[in-house]
Structure 1
Amino acid sequence: MRRVLMSLLLGIAVVTPAALTLSPAAPQPARCGSGDALSWTLPGACQHVDEPPPGVDPTEPVSTAVLRARDGGTAGAYDAAEALGVPAPVQAAAASPAVTCEGDGASGYRTQAMYVVEAGRTNRFAALLPSFRLWAAGVDDVVNRSAALTGGVRKVRFVTDPDGGTCVAKVLNVTVPAGAMSSFNATIAAVQALGYTDPSRKYLMWTDATVLCGVASMYPDATDGQGNPNNGRYAQYARIDSGCWGFGDGAAQHSVEAHELLHTLGGVMSTAPHGTRAGHCWDESDTMCYADGGGFAMKQVCPAEREYLFDCNNDDYYSTYPDPGSWLDTHWNAADSRFLIGGGDGSGGGAPGTPSVLGATIAVNNPAVPGLSTQATLAPSLPAGRTVASVQWKSARADCVFASPAELQTAVTCNATAAAPTTVTATLKDSSGATKVVTSPLTFATGTARPVTVAFPAGTSAAVCTGAGFPLTARVLDTASGQPVKGLAVALTKQSATMTAPASAGAPVTTVEGTVILNQTAAVATTYRARTAAGTVYAAGGPAELVATPGRCATSLAAEIDRTTAFYGDPVTVTGRLTAAVPSGVTLAVRLTTAAGRVLPLGSAKTGADGRFSLVAKPTESGVVSVALAVSVSYAAASATAGTLTVVTPTTRITGAVDRSEVGYGQNVTVTGRLQRDAGGTLSALAGKPVSVYVAPAGGGAAVKIGGGTTNAEGRFTAVVPLKVSGTLSVTSAAAAGQPAASAAVGPVVAGTWTTALTATASASSVPAGGSVTLSGSVSRTYAAAGATAPSPASGLRLKVTFRATGSATSTVVGTPTTTAGGTFTLKVLPKGAGTWTVSLPAVAGYTAAEAAPLTIGIG
């Protein structure tokens, strides 16, 4: 059965009659969906009569025998839940009516099971009592197994009777007046008239009627906390008519009784992430989800086996460990109900639960002072066995920066001009690949007049190098906290003795360190000043003053190389430091002096703000590496030896292979291989290099080049060459700068001789004097050793055509046609007399001689 009814929820609002006095905390009349009106006995509650499951007509009577065969949530449901990995004791698979014994079985907040029948109808209580108890245990199983999904323990706190060392749900046998089953309201009024009005009870009623499937009352109030009206402020009722009793024993079924009881526990709120406006959910599969007309299309989010359990993904109405900061964490959660053992404060046989999915909470210290850092913290909730894989912080404001953007705790700083609220977002990924994104507002405190301190870190004076660039650095601090201020404009001016007024040097904005840096030059003594203007947060600051006095700077230089031996052209790093008054941006010459005294430039390096420099050079000769600074108006000369470098020539490695070792003369063979540089055992590809293919004749003599190729990015090459020489095939790479030649023998190859066959015909056997005749034919070739099974055309062969007159012993050559690509030939001749014409192929390299049968042509 695909789905068992769903019950309650949202019907219509109830206006409480004046005769009923509500406490100040009583809920206001609720806005409910369509449905039957409720009795005044349930102030502010809603109802929704649910659809029956497919194939079930709740108006049809059901026999006692059929009902006793229904097992509720027992063995089949146990198997389905086990397939989902939900832990449960083995005994839960048995068809046992046992439920948890708790206290005296009566005191406290409990579910009271009831059999309700109208007067005048057959009372089947005695026959069905074992089934009622079994179905109650099935409801308890749903509650507990659903709690296990999030690592917790929950049990239904039934009113119980002892049963031989265990407990069973106490089921009351209640008879109501005729007509009391006509509607849910009538049933509630009837049982209330009998005194069943205790707010500490959820009344779970098996009503022996054929009117509807299931219905229950719920207060549409999502307020978090134990004061929620669904948590014992009023008595609540669930009704299941006989046609829908005892379902839930299967993967795609759920217990109607569990569905209706959950409504009385306060689910599902329409404001839940997947709630409908009629009190259910739309993210299947789930005991509480179905298309109830509540305005949402159903979506299959969880597997069908999840139908037996509460709350697909544990995020709408039932979780012992809701994702911190989530909707369910901050709204009413049925798993917190004090009608459940383990609910309320989590005690009494319960457990607080553990994360089943990755969760996280975010905390940002608000409000932040614009320009100053404020703390942001991410607290992960990790399922068992998982660890944090990565964290990424970002803000909706581009000017906000994070001190530790990949850590759980960081500081965020936005510009001093920030005023409008923004957001901070953290993306958490765990070791399973799951991600969680959480966002927090970031607000700013403005309207103050915080004093700031503006200063030059170098002090009030600085020696600089004449005409050379130097970094003018100013810093702004929040006076009260001592923190650097980010995003505050600093007005810089400069003035020499010859200037009548200061000139602007720029107005940069402070970094997160509170600093501004401008590159300046000075040829004469110059006074620099820095100040900030008043804004919405900070008072005006400054001015600070610094006098820069130029002169030729004394220098010293230190340098070193990262290795003393390198292969030809391999990178060598030269590092060092220039010490001067202001060493930034100074160009240094790096060179190598050979043993013969030749000076080879390796490049130039530029110093950083701390005077350090680095250059990667690729030396091709051995020698002493040095670094030099030439004398100038700005700097005194300096030099340093970095070290002696020995450059070693690498070797060349070449390999080759040929696809065939024997072919007929002139046939192609494919030669492949690889060319690599060997630098002390470290191999690298030699790309774009020519490789030649040679054959050394078997009988001796100089090797013959038969073709070649070029290496690709991996150093591999392919050469398709015609083989016309027998002997030893080899591949060779010529020498290049820093790379010696290399050659490798591939192996013996044979260019075999073709066996030829020649045919010839004449266009006529007799011609008139002065007439012509056309000779034609073909030449074919075979080479058995090459595996040829049929002759092929022999092209490009020069033939010889001879004529011998009748009665003569002498032959005369009259033509030398060449065979076409198809192996054919033609020759037009002008016979002067009768005689014999012969076409022949003389023996040539790679081909045997052949001769066609003579052709006799007469003169008629």
Structure 2
Amino acid sequence: MVRRVFVALALAVAVVTPAVIGLPDTVTVAARCGTGSDLSWTLPGACQHGDEAPPGVDPTEPVTTAELRTREGGSEGAYAAAEELGVPAPSAVAASSPAVTCEGDGVAGYRVQAMYVVEAGRTNRFAALQSSFQLWAAGVDDVVNRSAALTGGVRQVRFVTDPSGGTCVARVLNVTVPAGALSSFNSSISAIQALGYTDPSRKYLMWTDATVLCGVASMYPNDSDTQANPNNGSYAQYARTDSGCWGFGDGAAQHSVEAHELLHTLGGVMSTAPHGTRAGHCWDESDTMCYADGGGFSMQQICPAEREYLFDCNNDDYFSTYPDPGSYLDSHWNAADSRFLIGGGNGAGGGTPGAPTVLGATIAVNNPAVPGLATQASVAPSLPAGRTVTSVQWKSARTDCSFTTPTALQTEVACGAAASAATTVTATLTDSSGATKVITSPLTFATGTARPVTVSLGAAGQWPAGGSASVCTGAAFPLTARVVDVASGQPIKGLAVPLTKQTATMTAPASAGSPITAASGVATQSQTASVATTYRGRTAAGTVYAAGAQVALAAAPARCTTALSASVSDNDIHYADPVTVSGALTAAVGATPVAASGVTLAVRLTTATGTVLTLGSAKTTADGTYALVVKPTASGTIAVSLAASTAYTASTASAGAITVRIPATLITGAVDRTDVGYGQAVVVTGTLRRDAGGVVTALASKPVAVYVAPATGAPVKVGSATTTANGTFTASVPLKVSGLLYVAYAGAAGQPAARADIGAVVSGTWTTTVTASRSAASVVLGGSVTITGSVTRTYLGATLPAPGLRVKVTFQPTGGSTSTLVSTVTTTTAGTFTARVYPKASGTWTATLSGVAGYADDSADPLTITVN
């Protein structure tokens, strides 16, 4: 619903009333309210902003009493929309009646006073509309109650009330003000105050019988999180709705203008809110308080349209009974804390502080970070009762940022040493109900320093203090550089380490690469050395780090002695089941261990007959370990071996014996019918599965054949099918032979053949009926006659057309005893046939079906044709 609403934002925050505040100067006006033609200064110390009226509503046009009485305000018509959003409130609480919550004596304490205001000399419609005012007041209460329920709390408007039939209704005052007093918001406030309505413990919710504007309210732009907030009873506050905008809000796409205006007096929406405008509203639709008010922000559709009826899209700007710890509403003014709401204030009066009903979270990042160094990030979930966090996933907008534990609530994030511009980190939480919460925080960086660093070099897993490391001759080895921040002792990520190498025969060093340090502070470059080689490395100065002093490492190559270990994850398997062969390769030069990384090892299986089968090859990791998944198809002994080379001595290790068993094949079958007429289709279904010692799995994409074995003779293949991913199959086959129906799988390597008998099937003979007629009973010599007819077939009481059958047309001359075959025609899909004949003599013509497999013989009645 688009609305025309005027919001007065009181500029005073000290202990003075708006009525005695002088008009601010032009500089103050611009600073607090912005500039533009839509701004005016009719309320002392406040700014006022106008917007469009609801579609089809002109607030300057009078509205009849009859039309006003049809408006239901925020009533149960909005129940379904709110329920879809998960509001845990029964439909009975919707404002289908004017009842509101009874509290205390109905008068004492901080309360909302409803009033009807009309100018002297105009028709007073209070008596006709009193029940409507009370219904609309209950609608405002419904908006508050449902909005509180979204965050697990209970809030009702603390109206000044009167008892009514065991419950309470809002007390609506009938107030007459001087003629002309409703021409503006200021003049209406002045007139009301002159009648004594100036109590700071009251918020005056006015239905003004005027045609000047849609809605307007006063609000103090003070976001302090305290019960002493000036919007919480420091001064009398006023909300005005003119007759054109009374009683809206009955439906998902509408909101109550009265609720909108009252919320302003409760202190929303502050310009400091995450989605606050500069004119007392918000820009994250859909929401009762959000619209394009000219406050300098473009509207964004964040929440569904059904949210229009309720306060605060995502409950993060101005109304939440349980704000996320550390969030804006946890430390700023929150209208749900208002003492004018039952359950607000200190939580007394029938309400509860609330508990989360949706997954929430707050995020904390230790800013600013030093580029290249890890900084702490954490997320704190707010979980509804009975739920637990099931997953956490961290990510950053920068691709060079990494997390130490990216699936934990608390982690560390490190970005490259060259990072300078601010970025973001995001945590995505999922709880046990499947709900997710995505929360993002800025990550900023401190640059412009000259932090000292230390650089050290290592090779083949050695970090020698004396600067010399052993390597295997001609074999690849990792040359590693480690860079550490001196001040913190932390490793630095994202620094380039230019490396050089030089042998005794080289006159100048050559480049050995320029690897980038990882989050561990280590940069790795693969090298090979067949002769003694000196490697050097250093880091250059940048925007954050000073240059690192150059360090050197001498690599001394020699043939490495090796040893292998090996094991297998399972030694009793079924054909081609996966098993893992794993172990480690160790290498050494003398007593010095050398990391054997990237070494290729052969994995073989030797059968009992001496046949050697290659299972694959494994490659060692940086620490010399390896793992390879293999699928053995024969029993035997698995061994891992390294061939001798200039770099390594030969080495072999046995992973032990393995037994490979052949799994069983399980096949089932069923048929939908067992007795059909010749050629009719039957549907055969079944499953094909693999049984590996009780572990049954589907055999997918396998061919299955369907056979019928007659009483005598060889089985006949009548159809086939291919199994689906879950091992099922379906075949529709025409049945043309009787006997034993079965399904069969022919088998494959490691998977035996199998057969399942389904049972006896009958392909019965059809009883046929042939009919025929002629186009003429006589014809001149040389003329033609068209013979038409049909063939039907019957089996087990069912009669059907007989398509595709050959029908013979014969002629027997008058007085003759022998019939002559004249034509053969085929029946159509409808079982009909047509033959054109050219009689040369008088006689009879007969249509006959005979000698067709599966069909009994039959002839139509003879047709007599005379030749003139």
TM-score (norm 2): 0.71
Which residues of 2 match residues 147-166 of structure 1 at below 5 A? 148-149=148-149, 150=151
For 1:520 and 1:86, locate their aligned partners in 2 and report how far apart those are by CA, in whole Å: 70
Deviation at 1:396, TM superposition (A): 2.1
> What residue number does 2:640 align with?
627
1:409 aligns with 2:410: yes
Deviation at 1:101, TM superposition (A): 7.3
Deviation at 1:75, TM superposition (A): 13
Amino acid at match of 2:752: P
> What residue number does 1:395 align with?
396
SS of 1:789 mapped into structure 2: strand
Aligned residues: 819
Q: 2:478 aligns with which of 452, 471, 480?
A: 471
1:728 aligns with 2:735: no
For 2:746 and 2:38, locate their aligned partners in 1 and report how far apart those are by CA, in whole Å: 92
For 1:454 and 1:350, locate their aligned partners in 2 and report how far apart those are by CA, in whole Å: 63
> What residue number does 1:789 align with?
799
Which residues of 2 match residues 166-315 of structure 1 at below 5 A? 185-186=186-187, 204=204, 218-219=218-219, 221-225=221-225, 230=231, 235-238=235-238, 262-269=263-270, 314-315=315-316
For 1:572 and 1:857, locate their aligned partners in 2 and report how far apart those are by CA, in whole Å: 85
RMSD: 6.8
Which residues of 2 match residues 706-745 of structure 1 at below 5 A? 706-709=717-720, 711-714=722-725, 725-734=737-746, 736-745=748-757
> What residue number does 1:437 align with?
438
% identical equivalent positions: 55
Amino acid at match of 2:716: K
Residue deviations 1:69-124, cap 9 Å, x none?
x999999999999995469999x99969965479x969xxx6696999999999x9
Deviation at 1:402, TM superposition (A): 1.5
1:643 aligns with 2:656: yes
Residue pair 2:145, 2:156 contacting (<8 A) in 1 also: no
Residue pair 1:363, 1:377 contacting (<8 A) in 2 also: yes
For 1:583 and 1:361, locate their aligned partners in 2 and report how far apart those are by CA, in whole Å: 46
Amino acid at match of 2:612: V
1:703 aligns with 2:714: yes
1:747 aligns with 2:759: yes
For 2:495 and 2:744, locate their aligned partners in 1 and report how far apart those are by CA, in whole Å: 68
SS of 2:546 mapped into structure 1: coil
Deviation at 1:848, TM superposition (A): 6.9
Amino acid at match of 1:403: T
For 1:23 and 1:454, locate their aligned partners in 2 and report how far apart those are by CA, in whole Å: 67
1:604 aligns with 2:617: yes
> What residue number does 2:591 align with?
none
For 1:61 and 1:662, locate their aligned partners in 2 and report how far apart those are by CA, in whole Å: 79
Residue pair 2:811, 2:843 contacting (<8 A) in 1 also: no
For 1:857 and 1:86, locate their aligned partners in 2 and report how far apart those are by CA, in whole Å: 89
Greater mean deviation of Cα atoms: 736-745 or 29-38: 29-38
Greater mean deviation of Cα atoms: 370-379 or 714-723: 714-723
1:614 aligns with 2:615: no
In the superposition, relative to structure 1, how do residues 678 and 818 fare at CA in structure 2: closer, same or farther (>3 Å)? Answer: farther
Greater mean deviation of Cα atoms: 677-686 or 287-296: 287-296
In the superposition, relative to structure 1, how do residues 574 and 79 fare at CA in structure 2: closer, same or farther (>3 Å)? Answer: closer
Amino acid at match of 1:379: A
> What residue number does 2:376 align with?
375
Deviation at 1:367, TM superposition (A): 1.4
Residue deviations 1:695-725, cap 9 Å, x none?
4442x4x424344535334555566666665
> What residue number does 1:493 align with?
500
Amino acid at match of 2:389: V
Which residues of 2 match residues 95-106 of structure 1 at below 5 A? 99-100=103-104
For 2:139 and 2:826, locate their aligned partners in 1 and report how far apart those are by CA, in whole Å: 95
Greater mean deviation of Cα atoms: 324-333 or 392-401: 324-333
Residue pair 1:759, 1:777 contacting (<8 A) in 2 also: no
Residue deviations 1:300-331, cap 9 Å, x none?
97898996x86576455444444556665565
Amino acid at match of 1:561: V
Greater mean deviation of Cα atoms: 222-231 or 168-177: 168-177
Residue deviations 1:556-601, cap 9 Å, x none?
2222222232223333332222222332222222222222222232
> What residue number does 2:455 align with?
454
Deviation at 1:489, TM superposition (A): 0.5
> What residue number does 2:590 align with?
none
Residue pair 1:802, 1:839 contacting (<8 A) in 2 also: no
Amino acid at match of 1:612: T
For 2:300 and 2:414, locate their aligned partners in 1 and report how far apart those are by CA, in whole Å: 44
For 2:177 and 2:771, locate their aligned partners in 1 and report how far apart those are by CA, in whole Å: 119
1:595 aligns with 2:595: no
In the superposition, relative to structure 1, how do residues 676 and 209 fare at CA in structure 2: closer, same or farther (>3 Å)? Answer: closer
Residue pair 1:47, 1:217 contacting (<8 A) in 2 also: no
In the superposition, relative to structure 1, how do residues 517 and 664 fare at CA in structure 2: closer, same or farther (>3 Å)? Answer: same
Residue pair 2:7, 2:47 contacting (<8 A) in 1 also: no
Amino acid at match of 2:720: G
Which residues of 2 match residues 497-512 of structure 1 at below 5 A? 497-512=504-519
Amino acid at match of 2:556: T
In the superposition, relative to structure 1, how do residues 395 and 387 fare at CA in structure 2: closer, same or farther (>3 Å)? Answer: same
Residue pair 1:818, 1:825 contacting (<8 A) in 2 also: no
Residue deviations 1:500-538, cap 9 Å, x none?
222211000000111111221111122222211122211
For 1:668 and 1:114, locate their aligned partners in 2 and report how far apart those are by CA, in whole Å: 80
SS of 1:456 mapped into structure 2: strand
Residue pair 2:397, 2:424 contacting (<8 A) in 1 also: yes
For 2:669 and 2:287, locate their aligned partners in 1 and report how far apart those are by CA, in whole Å: 67
In the superposition, relative to structure 1, how do residues 411 and 168 fare at CA in structure 2: closer, same or farther (>3 Å)? Answer: same
Residue pair 2:417, 2:494 contacting (<8 A) in 1 also: yes
> What residue number does 2:569 align with?
562
In the superposition, relative to structure 1, how do residues 154 and 86 fare at CA in structure 2: closer, same or farther (>3 Å)? Answer: same
In the superposition, relative to structure 1, how do residues 346 and 623 fare at CA in structure 2: closer, same or farther (>3 Å)? Answer: closer
Residue pair 2:472, 2:647 contacting (<8 A) in 1 also: yes
Unaligned runs of at least 5 residues, structure 1 = 162-166, 766-770
Amino acid at match of 1:221: P
For 1:757 and 1:302, locate their aligned partners in 2 and report how far apart those are by CA, in whole Å: 69
Residue pair 2:390, 2:431 contacting (<8 A) in 1 also: yes
Greater mean deviation of Cα atoms: 473-482 or 606-615: 606-615
Greater mean deviation of Cα atoms: 408-417 or 172-181: 172-181
SS of 2:8 mapped into structure 1: coil
For 2:315 and 2:703, locate their aligned partners in 1 and report how far apart those are by CA, in whole Å: 67
Q: 1:545 aligns with which of 517, 535, 552?
A: 552
Residue deviations 1:418-463, cap 9 Å, x none?
1222222333444455444333222222222222121235123322
Residue deviations 1:710-745, cap 9 Å, x none?
533455556666666544344444454333333333
Greater mean deviation of Cα atoms: 385-394 or 465-474: 385-394
Residue pair 2:223, 2:270 contacting (<8 A) in 1 also: no
Deviation at 1:172, TM superposition (A): 11
> What residue number does 1:9 align with?
8
Residue pair 2:10, 2:220 contacting (<8 A) in 1 also: no
Amino acid at match of 1:9: A
SS of 1:555 mapped into structure 2: strand
For 1:501 and 1:567, locate their aligned partners in 2 and report how far apart those are by CA, in whole Å: 61
- Bigger radius of gyration among the two: 1
For 2:705 and 2:302, locate their aligned partners in 1 and report how far apart those are by CA, in whole Å: 66
> What residue number does 2:542 align with?
535
For 1:788 and 1:35, locate their aligned partners in 2 and report how far apart those are by CA, in whole Å: 87
Residue pair 1:269, 1:279 contacting (<8 A) in 2 also: yes
Deviation at 1:648, TM superposition (A): 2.2
> What residue number does 1:768 align with?
none
Residue pair 1:470, 1:519 contacting (<8 A) in 2 also: yes
TM-score (norm 1): 0.72
For 1:22 and 1:558, locate their aligned partners in 2 and report how far apart those are by CA, in whole Å: 90
Q: 1:43 aligns with which of 38, 41, 45?
A: 45
In the superposition, relative to structure 1, how do residues 366 and 703 fare at CA in structure 2: closer, same or farther (>3 Å)? Answer: same
For 2:211 and 2:268, locate their aligned partners in 1 and report how far apart those are by CA, in whole Å: 24
Greater mean deviation of Cα atoms: 553-562 or 728-737: 728-737
SS of 1:420 mapped into structure 2: coil
